[in-house]
Amino acid sequence: MTALLSALVVVACVAEPPARVGGSGVALAGVAPTPPLGWNSWQPYGCGVTEAQVKAQADALVSTGLRDAGYRYVVVDDCWNASTRTKDGALQSDSTRFPDGMSSLGEYLHQRGLKFGLYVGASDKTCTQYQGQYPGATGSRGVEQRDAATLAWWGVDYIKADWCSSNGDHDDQVAAFTAWRDAVRATGRPMVLSINPNSGVSGMPPGQRFDWGGVATMTRITNDIAASFASVLGIADVVGLVTPRTRADAFNDPDMLVVGQGLSAAQARTQMSLWAMMAAPLMIGTDLTRLSDAGLGVVGNQAMLAIDQNSRVVSGAPVAGDPQVWSRAIGPKGLAVSMTNRTSRNATVTVSLASLGLSGDGVVGVDVWTSKRYQAHDGVLSVQVAAGDTALLEIV
């Protein structure tokens, strides 16, 4: 029989989303119609990041083919800046680690078909300054217009604004991040605005509690990811509660990809599968010059990326509340289904066709990782999945 796919294919238990902070529309329309893809400096380099390292990673994006696969943003995270501003109050880079300056770095990236991203502190300090790990207090609170103009002049295409303050007052956060949104708009330069309202704030992370889609292009939903399978699964569980927020130019940000940092090959496929099902931004957080061919194959898998970058920009969600199985609508009538074995032993993962909005034993799922085909029987789709692994199926 022919599969019968309903218009509403995602069956999930999710809470009603709150009103969007900043209004019902999107913050910066047309900047990121699909989730941004790229690389971030924090995990491999932290406060030791240098101009030479960033250039080496940019070159690796090109030479490995990841740029052509869609990974275009090169984001320099915290600690790129000097500990003080210039005499007239402008941001400036650390002259020892970035001797040619940020404008020159932007030119280097743009010449290679890449986009330039920089970190800023949304409160009075950057995160490492707030934590006492880096000197100074060069956050942008109150000078967002000035700093946005500086970044635009440097050719920045992506701004990561990190709260990092013990002050979790919602009105203060809204004022700060809205000021950044308005400052980006005022530059006239199309720049992604990625915010993290969670750093330093106790209790439920504000990124989870509130819908920031009217303020930012990307919003961190949880605190920082760790290079562990438990962290990957825990973040997926949180994002599963807020999936209705996703749309073009407004994405839930589940944090960086930790492929190549302690995950097994199976666990790496799981992170990529779940992030693709979320329609999440994909920011690689590892040294690309040391990433194995197998790891490069995981982050660069074209079929997986096609799901993440699908023009039907909606997030998938757990099916009937089951964290092992997610479904996501793709294309005019298509469907992707992820089936994750969250245990330490090989297992069979099953899902009923009815819960997917499908019927008929002619339903077939093709795994994007192995190209293996799985056919439904008796109204159920069953897949043998290795420990920690995920079968990411396109329903055909």
Sheet order of strands, 115-121 included? 251-253, 218-220, 192-196, 158-162, 115-121, 73-76, 37-40, 282-284
User: Residue 162 catalytic?
Assistant: yes
**What residues form DSSP beta bridges with 37?**
282
Please count the other Cβ atoms lying within 10 Å of the Cβ belonging to residue 11: 17
User: Residue 100 catalytic?
Assistant: no
Q: What does the chain come to in residues?
A: 396
Question: 306 to each of 309, 311, 331, how far by Cα in Å?
Answer: 5, 9, 10
Please count the other Cβ atoms lying within 10 Å of the Cβ belonging to residue 257: 28
Contact 54, 38 (CB under 8 A): no
Tally helices (H) and strands (E) across the chain: 12, 16
Catalytic residue among 147, 157, 162, 389: 162
Catalytic residue among 124, 172, 182, 224: 224
**Cα torsion angle, 370, 314, 13, 376, sign:** negative
Tell me which residues are annotated as active site: 162, 224
